[in-house]
Amino acid sequence: MIFFIHIPKTAGSTLSSIFSKNYSPKETYHTSNGLLSNVLKEINGLPVNRKNNIKLVWGHMQFGIHSAFPYEMKPQYFTFIRNPVDRIISHYYYVQRNPDHYLYKKVQREKMKLEDYVTSGISSELNNGQTRLLSSEKLVTSSVNKYGSNRDEILQEALKNIEQFQIFIGIQEYFNKSVSRLSKIYNWHDTEYEVKNVGEYKSSLQLSKETISVIEEYNQLDIKLYNYSLKIFQDNKPIS
């Protein structure tokens, strides 16, 4: 069993074109239910035959979905992460140009600027969203870890999961190299891909220092996670 945790705005949608070339429809399952408890309920509601044929589960989901499947060997996880400042900027402009996005109406109605978007609490995706998906539901939904907090326990839980389950962390800025390594791990025979969900947006160089500081303030754990993962990736060392 392979589990891909698709963190929003980290090139995960582009990976879907690779999945379709290497797995049949019955061998994959896509979800976007977020919190672990929601995804577990969804998976456990599948017909037995459908569930037994799945080789790859992927989507916007939290770490821990392997508990919905019987297995003898350790489950294999992978994910992609991205420079946290760039990810938040991309997230904001993606919502701005997609009327079907669940945040679009609120953002438009309140005429949110980027700083407003980050500080509003509109979605936990904007406050250490990468670390949250790799941590545990119990921690990220705890009242002490409310929006805007940067409590280290969430990061430590994420790092523990990464090390214990040897989660492969791809780096969005090194997408081709990441895919090349994944293809060797999972024996993907075709890694040609179609770029998806990519649009123009301002880079961090075009923003004020104040705006960047706000993004960094709300994503301190993601910055630490990114630096940790980037070093491992550049050193080309196993997680543990």
What are the structural domains, with CATH classification, of the chain? Answer: 2-235 (3.40.50.300)
* Tens of each residue's pLDDT in the chain, 240 residues: 899 999 999 988 889 999 999 999 999 999 988 889 999 999 999 999 999 999 999 999 999 999 998 876 679 999 999 999 999 999 999 999 999 999 999 999 999 999 999 999 999 999 999 999 999 999 999 988 999 999 999 999 999 999 999 999 999 999 999 999 999 999 999 999 877 666 555 566 678 999 999 999 999 999 999 999 999 999 876 554
* pTM for this entry: 0.92
**DSSP string spanning the chain?**
-EEEE--TTSSHHHHHHHHHHHS-GGGEEEEEEESHHHHHHHHHTS-HHHHHH--EEEEEE-TTGGGGS--SSPPEEEEEE--HHHHHHHHHHHHHT-TTSTTHHHHHHTT--HHHHHHTTS-GGGTTHHHHHHS-HHHHTSGGG-TT---HHHHHHHHHHHHHTT-EEEEGGGHHHHHHHHHHHHT-S-------S------GGGS-HHHHHHHHHTTHHHHHHHHHHHHHHHHT----
- The whole-angstrom separation of Cα 232 and Cα 226 is 10
